[in-house]
């Protein structure tokens, strides 16, 4: 399975079959939905924001936004092979992007074989790299500018993130992204764009629990559409 991590959008979107959406735990600061997925290979991670309430865009451009405008973050994880969302979580706007990645990986079935996880530089943290290693997958996360090598493992092996830093120094960040397959991360961005295009980027419910259900249903509906078939794309010379 190749997991693609998507950046945040102004709303929350899960993308999977409706029958797999689970109710959020009580008294939870965020919410999660679990989606069954088998034989996945590569995952991509992304998040975006959904507007909860506020004026229209014309009013904002003319007079500015009011203090009542607020957002929710939708974090999704996409299977690069099927382009279905296999994990999703909605959080408040103040929750950091990298904090959610370990929770998304926990939503995957324990029998799913994850080959790699692609995410942008915001996920270049110890917690994210460790969560990916615990899943037995490779992290396709570009190091931050000025990144230094991390200590080796206890058995003397080079840390995978250090190997990325060394490779980027050797051939350059652009070449590393092409070599590693990092650009499959764009599939998560495409999934988030589809969600917002199909269902809008605004949540209509007022309570957090209702907003969470609304967002997860959107993702579930989109997963149904994806399961029915996707267009075949190919380059034209």
DSSP result, 85-141: EEEEEEEETTS-HHHHHHHHHHHS-TT----EEE--GGG-SHHHHHHHHHTT-EEE-
Q: How would residue 116 be classed by pLDDT, with cut points 50, 70 and 90?
A: very high
* Whether the predicted pLDDT of 144 surpasses 70: yes
Cβ(49)–Cβ(79) under 8 Å? no
Using a cut of 0.85, tell me whether the model's pTM lies above it.
no
Rounded-to-integer distance, Cα 79 and Cα 109, Å: 13
* Whether the predicted pLDDT of 152 surpasses 80: yes
> What percent of the chain lies above the pLDDT cut of 70?
71
* Whether the predicted pLDDT of 63 surpasses 80: no
Cβ(70)–Cβ(54) under 8 Å? yes
Rounded-to-integer distance, Cα 203 and Cα 53, Å: 7
Cβ(87)–Cβ(31) under 8 Å? no
Average pLDDT of the residues of the chain: 78
> What is the reported pLDDT for 45?
59
Q: How would residue 119 be classed by pLDDT, with cut points 50, 70 and 90?
A: very high
Q: What are phi and psi for residue 116, nearest 5 degrees? A: -160, 160
> What is the reported pLDDT for 87?
93
Comparing 31-40, 114-123, 149-158, the range with the smallest average pLDDT is 31-40
SS3 146: coil
* Whether the predicted pLDDT of 57 surpasses 90: no
Mean pLDDT of 166-190: 93
* Whether the predicted pLDDT of 142 surpasses 90: yes
* Whether the predicted pLDDT of 5 surpasses 70: no
37 vs 181, higher pLDDT:
181
Mean pLDDT of 154-172: 94
> What is the reported pLDDT for 220?
94
């Amino acid at each position: 399975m190749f997991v693609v991590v998507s950046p945040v959008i102004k709303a929350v979107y899960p993308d999977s079959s409706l029958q797999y959406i689970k109710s959020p735990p009580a008294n939870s600061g965020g919410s999660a939905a679990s989606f069954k997925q088998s034989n996945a290979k590569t995952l991509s991670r992304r998040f975006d924001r959904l507007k909860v309430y506020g004026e229209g865009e014309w009013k904002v451009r003319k007079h500015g936004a009011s203090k009542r405008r607020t957002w929710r973050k939708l974090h999704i994880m996409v299977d690069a092979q099927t382009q279905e969302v296999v994990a999703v979580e909605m959080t408040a706007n103040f929750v950091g992007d990298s904090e959610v990645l370990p929770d998304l990986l926990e939503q995957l079935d324990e029998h799913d074989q994850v080959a790699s996880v692609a995410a942008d530089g915001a996920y270049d943290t110890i917690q994210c790299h460790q969560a990916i290693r615990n899943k037995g997958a490779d992290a396709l996360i570009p190091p931050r500018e000025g990144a230094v090598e991390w200590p080796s493992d206890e058995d003397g092996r080079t840390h995978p993130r250090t190997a990325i830093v060394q490779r980027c120094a050797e051939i350059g960040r652009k070449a590393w992204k092409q070599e590693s397959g990092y650009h499959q991360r764009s599939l998560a961005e495409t999934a988030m764009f589809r969600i917002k295009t199909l269902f809008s980027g605004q949540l209509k419910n007022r309570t957090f629990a209702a907003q969470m259900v609304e967002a997860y249903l959107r993702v579930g509906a989109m997963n149904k559409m994806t399961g029915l078939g996707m267009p075949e794309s190919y380059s034209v010379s």
